[in-house]
Amino acid sequence: MSKCYHCGDNCNITAIVFDDKNFCCNGCKTVYEIFQSNDLTYYYDLQSGAGTTPLAIEGKYDFLTSNTIAQRLIEFDDGTVQIVNLFIPGIHCSSCIWVLENLKKLHPGITNSQVDFPKKTVRVTFKAELVTLKELVILLAKIGYEPYISLDDYDKGKSKTDRSILYKLGVAGFAFGNIMFLSFPEYFEVGEFWLDQYKGLFRWLMFAFSLPVVFYAGSDYLISAYKGLRSGLLNIDVPIALGILVLFTRSSFEIFFDLGSGFFDSLTGLIFFLLIGRFFQQKTYSFLSFERDYKSYFPIAVTRLSKKKKEETVQVYDIKRGDRLLIRNKELIPVDGILISGEAQIDYSFVTGESEPVQKISGDKVFAGGRQCYGAIEIETLKSVSQSYLTQLWGNSVFQKDKTTAFQTLTDSIGKRFTIAVLAIAIIAASFWMYQDSSKVFNVFTAVLIIACPCAIALAAPFTLGNMLRIFGRKKFYLKDSSVIEQLAQIDTAIFDKTGTITTTQSSSISYEGMELSVEEESLLKNTLRASNHPLSRSLYALLKEHDIETLDEYREYTGKGVQGVKDKSDVKVGSADFVGHQQQSDYNSTSVHVSANDAYKGCFVFNNNYREGVSEVFKEMGRYMDLAVISGDNSGEKTRLEKLLPKLTPLYFNQKPTDKLEFISELQANDKKVLMVGDGLNDAGALAQSNVGLAISENINVFSPACDGILDATKFKYLNNYILASKKAIKIIKLCFILSLMYNVVGLYFAVTGQLEPVIAAILMPLSSISIVAFATLATNVIGKKLN
């Protein structure tokens, strides 16, 4: 079978041949033509089959003609030149970068375009008089790179990237290097005359270099320790801040009174290493968003019909009760309303994860968040955007809470005991020396605090978890930040959503029950279905064997009922039980399509949910060490199948509303359970936010996932248990690192307590312990990562 030259998909028998190349559809061919006529075929040399098929977009971007809306999206505008930054989920390879950076060849109005690959954005500079924003977006959509514009872009202010960690790292590294260089003579204590002569100058320079390090680069630690103390918490930053301050005051003291060289090298080195750890931990997936709410999925504007049936574009926040809205094919319904006219096939998969569209007839209520799948409909608004059934969920206080601040990390809990122990040792040692040699009291006391500064402990978690985060990312398990790994390791209860989470949204398995169809009947059925656009017809059509395309003598579609096809005096009816003249007997819970030929009932096709690969195994393995439950918004139609699939006595809950799910989880938490919620749709958003760890399963990580702590690619669902076990191992590594670093501390404390701590010992011991911890943590996590598959 030939592959499409543009998108690389398999061409069916109906391949389009153009310019000696095969294309799977007209869309792909058109993109090729555009590229070819603009000398952009180098696109295909970079990577074959790189393109994506453009989708129909007629009328979809009409709202961009509205100046107020366009201005919210445009970043820079001086009247002639405009700059816009567009998010394009389709960016995936070097060909994409190349063609998007050559946009200027496609349109003379575009002067420059630059791709940010990790963020999947393109920044386009264009001349306003030659090309409008709408034309630009349509041009992009035409070549298969449709930008994703949602209500979120409308609300968002111009976000600034935070680069402070890089500046701080630069300052600390710069000062660390120079101070090391200046303190070199001191390490060897050479009694050379000239070096003695300039010692003072060298020391004052070191002091000057250390100032920005302590008060700028290290400010985060000081502030965090202060905040922790004020709220009565001894977090890990307290002993670190104590170490920094003691190092700085003692070193300054030594220089002021010409007692010694101080510990400026250790001080700046400490802060430099800590910042590296923080930088490493800060791995983010810039193309993913973990903070999405309904705004990321809702359109900016819709078409409103005025009293005189005139169409106008209206911003969704301006929709008022009673407004008539026109929802076109593939558009999202932004508000709750009543269907006035048109055939509604509403796909609520954003909301529930259920892929089968729901049919509505005039007068039915439709809810916000559904996507119209077939033709245009007209609805009358009942509630405004923020008060709709779905969007109300975001009014719940759980969305205002910040989960990470409430969680005490392993490092912080160690930090508490550590601080107390160190202070105790320092005081005991100081009081011992009080009797022995009172001149050494100050030295010993500060030396203990300096050497015990938990640099290595503070580095263990960032490097272990940061590296784990990267390994997970390579295995398509994307976590919001490293603290999620710690939380994941503590989970003892896991709750799964059903539809879309443990079932796939993409294919449902279809089984046929009834009398066998003859070849002629099947051929007629297939040809009848070919003409129908109903989603069930499409999936059924794909299932049936290939037959020659024949022209039907008669074809009729009965909205909400079914379709009928006639050829050579034999006819076939496909649709609901009533439509084909069959008394409904089977249970109402499963979706089924009935068939009759020449008015004789033949049988029905039953659409079953298809469970993800490895669901049973995942449940079985996880059931060994935690409580499991399935909670679903659907009816109990799949109950018997689920019971067969899952371990015995797994609790199953059906007909749960979004708020029920949220409350179910908070009840478990009230019983001291650490809950993992695995969900997918917006209806799980509350539960995901409430749970200790909320994981979203996503078939396409670029497009859809509600706010959560982590996104798991659907193909990797079967490895979920391995990922949890790997998190547990990562925590073990951190604990091992703590032991290792405590051993270094014991050695250091020996020097400190006995009053022999020389700057050179501190300067060796601190980096040595830090580097060995970092090396151990990185190696050990890589070993876990290797075993993960």
Cα 335 to Cα 379: distance, rounded to the nearest angstrom? 9
Cα 657 to Cα 687: distance, rounded to the nearest angstrom? 11
* Local structure of 693: helix, strand or coil: strand
Residue 314: DSSP 8-state: E
* Local structure of 572: helix, strand or coil: strand
Residue 158 as a binder of another protein (CB under 8 A): the answer is: no
Considering Cα of 305, then 307, then 308, then 313, what sign does the dihedral take?
negative
For residue 41, the minimal CB distance to another protein (Å) is 9
CA angle, 50 then 54 then 55, to 5°: 145
For residue 174, the minimal CB distance to another protein (Å) is 5
Judged by beta carbon, residue 181 or residue 407, the one nearer another protein is 181
Contact status, residue 676 vs residue 654, Cβ threshold 8 Å: no
Choose one: 15-23, 24-32, 190-198, 632-640; the region binding another protein (CB under 8 A). Answer: 190-198
Judged by beta carbon, residue 119 or residue 324, the one nearer another protein is 119
Residue 190 as a binder of another protein (CB under 8 A): the answer is: no
Choose one: 24-32, 94-102, 125-133, 781-789; the region binding another protein (CB under 8 A). Answer: 94-102
Judged by beta carbon, residue 166 or residue 428, the one nearer another protein is 166
Choose one: 39-47, 320-328, 350-358, 570-578; the region binding another protein (CB under 8 A). Answer: 39-47
Q: Which helix (H) or strand (E) covers residue 412, if one does?
A: helix 410-436
Judged by beta carbon, residue 90 or residue 357, the one nearer another protein is 90
**Out of 118, 200, 395, 651, the residue judged to bind another protein by CB under 8 A:** 118
Residue 196 as a binder of another protein (CB under 8 A): the answer is: no
- Residues in the interface with another protein (CB under 8 A) total 28
60: which residues sit within 8 A by CB, 6+ positions away? 328, 330, 331
What residues are paired with 558 via a beta bridge?
Answer: 562
Residue 117 as a binder of another protein (CB under 8 A): the answer is: yes
**Out of 77, 101, 318, 554, the residue judged to bind another protein by CB under 8 A:** 101
441: which residues sit within 8 A by CB, 6+ positions away? 430, 433, 434
Residue 16 as a binder of another protein (CB under 8 A): the answer is: no
Closest CA to 179 of 248, 263, 250: 263
| Phi-psi region at 21: left, alpha or beta (left = phi > 0; alpha = psi -120 to 50) | beta
Closest CA to 535 of 507, 555, 558: 507
Query: What is the phi/psi pair of residue 16, to 5°?
Result: -100, 125
Closest CA to 296 of 148, 516, 130, 124: 148
Residue 215 as a binder of another protein (CB under 8 A): the answer is: no
Residue 80 as a binder of another protein (CB under 8 A): the answer is: no
What residues are paired with 513 via a beta bridge?
Answer: 604
Closest CA to 733 of 786, 774, 769: 774
Residue 116 as a binder of another protein (CB under 8 A): the answer is: yes
Choose one: 114-122, 291-299, 354-362, 660-668; the region binding another protein (CB under 8 A). Answer: 114-122
Judged by beta carbon, residue 215 or residue 625, the one nearer another protein is 215
For residue 707, the minimal CB distance to another protein (Å) is 24
Cα 745 to Cα 758: distance, rounded to the nearest angstrom? 15
Residue 166 as a binder of another protein (CB under 8 A): the answer is: yes
The contact pattern for another protein, residues 232-271, with x = CB under 8 A and - = no contact, is ----------------------------------------
Tell me, rounded to whole angstroms, the distance of Cα 277 from its chain centroid.
23
Residue 39 as a binder of another protein (CB under 8 A): the answer is: yes
For residue 101, the minimal CB distance to another protein (Å) is 7
Residue 178 as a binder of another protein (CB under 8 A): the answer is: yes
Cα 684 to Cα 678: distance, rounded to the nearest angstrom? 9
**Out of 1, 14, 67, 194, the residue judged to bind another protein by CB under 8 A:** 194
For residue 97, the minimal CB distance to another protein (Å) is 5
Query: Which residues are near another protein by CB under 8 A?
Result: 39, 42, 46, 94, 97-98, 101, 114-119, 161, 163, 166-167, 170-171, 174, 177-178, 181, 194, 197-198, 201, 205
